[in-house]
């Protein structure tokens, strides 16, 4: 089994080549041999939060392999009303994206909003900045939210903020992941939704060395990464020289644990 915890419904960054509706995502998953994809709405991240959430709920009713995140944004405080959708069938949790929505997670004006979200959600997927200079959602800032809410599980995206050195792009920077690992919050998981994991040899080996396998979850950022890239990502994990049970934890077991061992993920 393979569970992908990080995908999107709709058109990412308004690019037509990064667009997929529910049926298209189901087809991608069949091609990549992925059993389940957890999606947030691209519209929610870049245009209208509540319209995008409604699109996700509608798509969950008509697709076989999709599960959904509800997006909330403190810049649009009315989006908090959509937390009622957490009780909807196939909804797994909440997605927040400080970079796109333009807020600092440590801001005193934002803190009460995020604290309420964390109190009401069992699982939060948060974007972590994976480009130098995009500091709104640097991993250290989001760690403070996770530390205040140990009862809530968090997925920190993009390998905890791994990025390419702008001058020497073949040297991935692991600083963000190292900071997250040093804090060692047991409710913080890290997803693999980053192309560096399979573009450069040794990246995933280093990730497992830094963070271990018991809190790594598989993600692709689909449709940003298509079926071919997703298959490469799966094979990157399967080729690791680690115990088979650790590979299974990354590919599906940890995601199942996040949802309390549910088999309908």
As given in the structure block, the two tokens for residue 265 are: 């993920």
Helix pair angle (175-183, 203-211), 10° resolution: 20
CA 206 centroid distance within chain = 20
Is the pTM above the cut of 0.85? yes
Average pLDDT by consecutive 10-residue portion of the chain (265 residues)? 97 86 95 98 94 97 95 96 95 95 93 97 94 72 95 96 77 90 97 91 95 97 95 97 98 95 47
CA 123 vs CA 1, 39, 159, 243: distances in Å: 21, 13, 17, 27
Contact between 204 and 197 under an 8 Å Cβ cutoff? The reply is yes
User: What is the largest distance, in Å, between two alpha-carbon atoms of the chain?
Assistant: 48
Q: What pLDDT is stored for residue 134 in this prediction? A: 61
Q: Which domains does the chain have, with CATH numbers?
A: 3-258 (3.20.20.140)
DSSP 64-120: SSEEEEEE--TTSGGGGGGGGGGGSTTEEEEEE-HHHHT--TT-TTTHHHHHHHHHH
Beta strand pairing status for 3-11 and 19-20?
antiparallel
Q: What pLDDT is stored for residue 132 in this prediction? A: 63
Q: Which of 22, 33, 3 is nearest to 227 (CA)?
A: 33
Q: What pLDDT is stored for residue 3 in this prediction? A: 98
Q: Walk across the sheet containing 91-96 and list its strands.
A: 19-20, 3-11, 36-41, 66-71, 91-96, 123-126, 153-156, 188-191, 216-217
Phi and psi, residue 101, nearest 5°: -85, -10
Q: What pLDDT is stored for residue 123 in this prediction? A: 98
Contact between 53 and 41 under an 8 Å Cβ cutoff? The reply is yes
Q: How many residues does the chain have?
A: 265
Q: What pLDDT is stored for residue 135 in this prediction? A: 64
DSSP 115-172: HHHHHH-SEEEE----STT--TT-HHHHHHHHHH-TTSEEEE-GGGT-EE-SSSTTSE
């Amino acid at each position: 089994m393979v569970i992908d915890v990080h995908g999107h419904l709709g058109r990412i960054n308004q690019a037509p080549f990064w667009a997929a509706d529910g049926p298209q995502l189901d087809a991608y998953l069949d091609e990549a041999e992925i059993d389940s994809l957890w999606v947030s709405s691209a519209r929610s991240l870049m245009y209208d939060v509540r319209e995008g959430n409604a699109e996700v709920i509608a798509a969950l009713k008509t697709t076989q392999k999709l599960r959904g995140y509800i997006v909330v944004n403190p810049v649009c405080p009315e989006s908090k009303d959509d937390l009622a959708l957490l009780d909807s069938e196939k909804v797994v949790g909440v997605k927040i994206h400080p970079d796109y929505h333009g807020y600092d997670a440590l801001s005193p004006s934002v803190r009460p909003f995020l604290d309420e979200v964390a109190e009401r959600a069992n699982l939060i997927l948060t974007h972590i900045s994976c480009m130098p200079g995009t500091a709104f959602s640097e991993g250290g800032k989001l760690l403070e939210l996770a530390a205040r809410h140990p009862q809530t599980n968090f997925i920190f995206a993009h390998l905890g903020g791994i990025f390419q050195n702008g001058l020497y792009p073949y040297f991935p920077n692991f600083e963000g992941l190292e900071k997250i690992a040093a804090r060692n919050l047991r409710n913080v998981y890290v997803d693999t939704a980053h192309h560096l994991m399979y573009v450069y040899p040794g990246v995933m080996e280093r990730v497992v060395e830094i963070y271990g396998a018991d809190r790594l979850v598989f993600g692709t950022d689909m449709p940003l990464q298509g079926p071919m890239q997703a298959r490469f990502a799966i094979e990157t994990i399967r080729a690791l020289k680690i115990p088979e049970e650790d590979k299974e934890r990354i590919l599906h077991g940890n995601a199942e644990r996040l949802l309390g061992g549910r088999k309908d993920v």
